[in-house]
Structure 1
Amino acid sequence: MARTPSGLTRRTFLGTTAATGTAALLGSPASASAPTAADAEAWPSYPDGRPVATRRLDAQDAGPVLRHGDGPDRCDIHGARDVWVYRYRGTLYMHYDGAGDEGWLACLATSRNGTDWTKHGPVLELGAPGSDDSKSASYGVTYRAAPGDWHLYYLGTPNASPPPDRVPAFPYLTMKAHGPGPTGPWTKQPDVEPFRPQPDTYYSLTASPGHVVRHRGEYLQFFSASVQDSTSTKRTIGIARTRDLNGPWQPDPEPIVPLDEQIENASLHYEHANDTWFLFTNHVGLDESGEYTDAIWVYWTRDLNQWDARDKAAVLDRTNCAWSPYIMGLPSVVPLHGRLALFYDGRAARDVSHMGRDVGLAWLDLPLCPP
């Protein structure tokens, strides 16, 4: 559908900010000055007052690198999005949600350079009717524990919109599979239930998979969480913990940042140069078109167990994305050729549809420094 610019002031203000140059934001202490009262009037805003990112760590966009429509057996005929990219022995592996004729499934593509990809088709199948992944088995996050010991945490749901779109619908659940290598084959483990939405928590509506890291003798999974109240859905990232990758996980009692941040999905990068963790996530914005993923944000900390919602910056949005005018969805980052590759999904059309998405690539210089 045709869409006119909203009342958001993001383009006006942030376009001016971007002109100061990425190098200054990445490296100059002077660029980290605190906002003034005059600045506050120019920050982007949303109708419901949800928080904004008032700093920038600009990525350099390279445009689409994987387009939907030509996957094996029509696996991505309706769209390609929600990426998880991992590297093993010089090869990049990408799990992406292929919107096919039967539903959204985690599909595999491989590359040596991050820009030229070979599609291999789905790595998961829909579950049996009535099962927790009967309508979608998608967004597959991998973790290599040892040689021949690979773990896959994926999003399952028993609900989806009608065909042909078949968009996965709440609840989003974390499910488990295991495989011998980066390409699987993946064997589902329905008897393993990592964690599930729980009433009266910050993850009462969804508890879907995220980046897994090993830290101080335990595994931490930065999962997507959400709640639904009488007026809206609110979203954040939580940490679930375990010492057994084939066992249950225990979510922390509080998320890493408040639900009002309106973020979902997490991809982490550890910067050795300054002992800092960077968490990339997609932000959900709001305007007259409704809610949609309008930006990639990054948060940073030196302690994985302590995060401050004030320590964040915008990385990619409509001011610096070269091809997708409104949609910047689910990020995945991986160091590549001395830079940090940021993969995300977008849509070239001037609307906010869930369908017809493609995968884009943007770059950040290393080492990363908080702006």
Structure 2
Amino acid sequence: MPAFDRPMRVFITGTAGFIGFHLARRLLEEGHVVHGYDGLTDYYDVRLKHRRHALLREHPGFSATEAMLEDLPALEAAARAAQPDVIVHLAAQAGVRYSLENPRAYVDANLIGTFHVLEVARELKPRHLLMASTSSVYGANEALPFDEQQKTDWPLTLYAATKKANEAMAHAWAHIHGVPTTMFRFFTVYGPWGRPDMALFKFTRGILEGTPIEIYNHGDMWRDFTYVDDLVHAIRLLIEAVPPAPEARTPEAGWQPVEGDTLSPAAPWRVVNIGNSDKVRLLDFVEAIEAEVGRPAQRRHLPMQAGDVPATWADCGLLKRLTGYAPRTPFREGVARFVRWYLSYCEWALRTQCNGRDFDCDR
């Protein structure tokens, strides 16, 4: 696996977001230089985003540009100044259900914004471009666990459709312009500094406040919950796993085939699942939160929501074969870490009178 022989310069979109923050912090702690790019949109309380960026700014190797992906001149100027060895594109309009309410936001951020990132990569030619996709691209597939060889032709939401389009766009750019590109499909990422619209955050807040939590499909749901530190470690290892161009895949070049690899026959491009390789019943997840908080939830059972699927479960064999690593944090341990962070963040927020409309720290 090719290694970077000096501290890297890494350009990350979405550093004020959940995953981008954790990845940037990991790279900074290793001594790399990180330039972040984030629009700090108000999809949820921006004060949580500002707090993440403030913590990153404590590292001397961090700098950031606050601008939208749709602003191509700003994106180009920031990336040119950073001269990155690696670009990691994490910024997106997230949320499956929100795509039913505000589809235009997904077109702007996930299609136009990603096109702009690809254009920047075409110009700057980083040694590796890595881009976030999602387990939602598996859509109506019913065969579990999901593996990268399965078709992803039946997305159930616009969010999933934009991410599927991102994979196709990136493949075309890798073929035409030769930028080595890795797409990774996330599976239900959770942990400290998570988004307030995500299930763990909402469930913890509701249980602490004594308000009902909404449980869809009457609890008959299964998810492959992936702890954020495991996800970030996998991304960090994949940075080194640069997809070779088709003409470089020879024994003389030191290349060895990997079982089940998704390398394109026409481009230096591959796609990799990142999940915990286990499906957890949603009600077991709720019970883990109840045990950590020390009180029962008021449960409001609802039918399946449009765009949801009953189960996700990742086959992460390719990740293991490429990097030697497989995520392994048990969900109860990850829930406990999140609840401890949530309570500490509430204490900080209350001290600084930082009660956002989406982040209510009343207990």
TM-score of the aligned structures, taking structure 2 as reference length: 0.32
Larger fraction in helix: 2
Larger fraction in strand: 1
